[in-house]
Amino acid sequence: MQILDGIKVIELGQLIAGPFAGKTLADFGARVIKVEPPGAGDPLRKWRKLKDGTSVWWDAQSRNKESVAIDLRQPEGQALVRELLSDADVLIENFRPGTLERWGLGWDALHALNPRLVMLRLSGFGQTGPRAREPGFAAVGEAFGGLRHLNGEPGRPPVRAGVSLGDTVAGLHGAMGVLLALYQRDARGGQGQMIDLALYEAMFNLTESLLPEYDAFGDVREPAGGALPGIAPSNAYPCADGRFVLIAGNGDSIFRRLMTAIGRADLADDARLTHNDGRAARALELDAAIGDWTVQRSLEKVLAAMDRAEVPASRIYTIADLAADPHFAARGSIERIPALAGGTIAVPGIVPRLSATPGAVRQRAPRLGEHSDAVLRELGHDEASIAALRVKGSVA
């Protein structure tokens, strides 16, 4: 048994943010019924690299889900979604604000239909405020939320992480919001509620001391490349073989061990460097000392020395590196699951790890509309009714 067994989730979202929240809930036992538009389905099916016509990303993000193809633009499709929601526990959607209201599927209408329903609404700027109706993808959320400005080298254009952080971080916040709302409903005797989550707010929530430092000191943090501003030493350093090593020597006792390991007892014993505030003031000097040492040694020799000194360090992994690393295998951090195209595909394992009720992959990602007939029959539709809906194009 999984912890979310018995929880029924209807997923109306597309691409990443909403579906990532749905994936997270599905991994821990929720039944997630994904509603996709007939014809093309969720655009993610065609994003990035395809195998037999479908993205392998789809295998990872849509595992454990069922697919029902319903045209939400048609009144019959909207009526079917209301039927699905009449006894559902959770609705996930990431349309632009106002879209569901035009279809008669806004919060007020759905709460009246099913007072126990928890509704997760993800959008670029939230359901309220002067920018609420504007479109917003992950990149916009990262920029508007303050994170993108920090990424990159000083004096150069900001860069992005190579993944859609704005979406996936919002999806994780959304899943957390759903669990909180279900706890309030089921453990505290409450009703369903609406969760209004903006992509930029999820990113803004990651900015640590950025705002309090601005408020207290007027300080605007600027990009710092591989360093962590105000916390030292922590950076990527060059090695003799052209590779880089990440060394995090910013703990007080760790710093002393690091300086001793690189032959800089003078810095290890400098009372002005005992604590982080003193080290931060001399971050460039410390980075130069560490870099002068690493650049004379291969990455393997640097890592071996850091291991002996018990200083946190790592090579900077590519996906090929981590796929071959024994620690990933030992922890189950990579899992092979059934692929829609046949055979299996490697995907990130399920986290977090629960000792008594762990997550699990129960089924592969669905074909478009694979579960349409079965789900409609559950709602009480007979074969003639389903055939008529299919002729009209309301379902597929």
Q: Does the annotation count 71 as an active-site position? A: no
- The whole-angstrom separation of Cα 126 and Cα 268 is 49
- Residues 259, 353 within the same domain: no
Q: Considering the domain boundaries, does residue 101 fall inside one?
A: yes
pTM over 0.75: yes
Domain end call among 285, 315, 345: 315
Residues 174 and 77 placed together within one structural domain of the fold: yes
Residues 341 and 308 in one domain: no
The 3-state secondary structure of the chain, one letter per residue: CCCCCCCEEEECCCCCHHHHHHHHHHHCCCEEEEEECCCCCCHHHHCCCEECCEEHHHHHHCCCEEEEEECCCCHHHHHHHHHHHCCCCEEEECCCCCHHHHCCCCHHHHHHHCCCCEEEEEECCCCCCCCCCCCCCHHHHHHHCCCHHHCCCCCCCCCCCCCCHHHHHHHHHHHHHHHHHHHHHHHCCCCCCEEEEEHHHHHHCCCCCHHHHHHHHCCCCCCCCCCECCECCEEEEECCCCCEEEEECCCHHHHHHHHHHCCCHHHHCCHHHCCHHHHHHCHHHHHHHHHHHHCCCCHHHHHHHHHHHCCCEEECCCHHHHHHCHHHHHHCCEEEEECCCCCEEEEECCCCCCCCCCCCCCCCCCCCCCCHHHHHHHCCCCHHHHHHHHHHCCEC
> Is residue 229 included in any domain, yes or no?
no
Report whether 360 contacts 27 (CB < 8 A).
Answer: yes
The answer to whether residues 258 and 171 belong to one domain is no
Domain match, 364 and 258 both: no
Q: Catalytic: which of 167, 219, 292, 325?
A: 167
Please, is 270 exposed, middle or buried when counting C-beta atoms within 10 Å of its C-beta (0-12, 13-18, 19+)?
middle
Domain identity same for 188 and 62? yes
State which residues form the domain around 300. Answer: 234-315
Question: How many distinct structural domains can be found in the chain?
Answer: 2
Q: Is residue 131 part of a domain?
A: yes
CATH number at 282 reads 3.30.1540.10
Q: For each of the chain's 396 residues, which pLDDT tens digit applies? A: 899 999 999 999 899 999 999 999 999 999 999 999 999 999 999 999 999 999 999 999 999 999 999 999 999 999 999 999 999 999 999 999 999 999 999 999 999 999 999 999 999 999 999 999 999 899 999 999 999 999 988 989 888 888 999 999 999 999 999 999 999 999 999 999 999 999 999 999 999 999 999 999 999 999 988 888 899 999 999 999 999 999 999 999 999 999 999 999 999 999 999 999 999 999 999 999 999 999 999 999 999 999 999 999 999 999 999 999 999 999 999 999 999 999 999 999 999 999 999 999 999 999 999 999 999 999 999 999 999 999 999 999
